[in-house]
Amino acid sequence: MEAPPIQPPPYSIPKVPAAPPRKSSRGWIWALVIVGILVIGGIGVFALLASAIHSAGGGRAHGGSGASELHEVVVEDHDSSNKIAVLAVEGVITGSPIDPEGRTLVDLVKHQLERVADDEAVKAVLLRVDSPGGEVLASDEIYRLLWKFMEEHPEKPVVVSMGSLAASGGYYVSAPCRWIVANELTMTGSIGVIFHSYNYRELMDKVGVRPAITKSGKLKDMMSGEKTQAEELPEERQIMQSMIDESFGRFKQVIREGRSRAARLNAGEGKPLVNGWESIADGRILSGQAALEQGLVDELGNFEVAVDRALKLAKIEDANLVSFDPPLSFGSLFRLFGKAQSEAATVRLDLGMGIPSRLPQGRLYFLSPVHAH
């Protein structure tokens, strides 16, 4: 009997492990939705808080409509019923808007002084100046606001605390004040006027561009950057120099009047202008120490020294330091976002000639060009 044939073992196909269940791609979508809701909700809460603060702090009638919008902020709390208002003049002094609401530095100072005048608890003003100067007109308008405030409210002395830089227009706005404090290393002075422009005719000639001008009078295009040197008329320089000399004379008058009034009010304290001080009014930069020697400032010291002087002049023992700041509204928040995006896409051209291209050309400036960056 034959043996049965040997059968091969049955072939079994190895089992491939099943793939793990695929996660739904909707998870990250829901995460984005939640984040979006939180952001929008946060902005809404911010808007409500801003509105509530505005209603509580700025709803009262203070001076004018612009003044009523400012929020009082406690800078230093000394548990006092008295206040010293801190106002800041920082950066280039300009008549251009400084916030999304279109408020200029001149507007802000005006509104702040209105709040100070209306608040009986404010006993003195502390003006913090850290500026290379700026436009002639804007500087003069701030000067006039301070002068008028001091005339109408002699019981609220104005003390200047100069920072690292208080030159040209920065000194111009300081000149009318009762007392000026500067650090010995403060850069100040730069008393003078400058008109700045560019002549680019040779560049135009190189690229084959020729200006075609039709004008009503021979001086209508005076100081144009398109002129060759031969086309510039002698009268142009004479007219511009006359305007600069007039503004320069005004600058020196502001210093004489402001420092004379301060010396009279301070009754022998402080530093009066020395004889021959105009010899250093040639645009040169002065240290705080050199300015003190010329009588351009009254005292050397820092911000705390200026606070102590304000307390003394106001004849009070203590005071809270407060500021009056513009509110950050719901609408301005989005304008700030838009401004940031716009500036990110803007290429700024600095020609390395002291005055950067973002300053409007063809204007007179009380400005230290070395520091206007």
Catalytic site positions: 168, 220
Residues 6+ apart with CB under 8 A from 150: 157, 158, 176, 177, 178
Residue 4, judged by CB atoms within 10 A of its CB (0-12, 13-18, 19+), counts as exposed
**Alpha-carbon gap, residue 353 to 367, rounded angstroms:** 13
Cβ–Cβ under 8 Å, residues 90 and 128:
yes
Which backbone phi and psi does 15 adopt, to 5 degrees?
-80, 125
Cβ–Cβ under 8 Å, residues 176 and 261:
yes
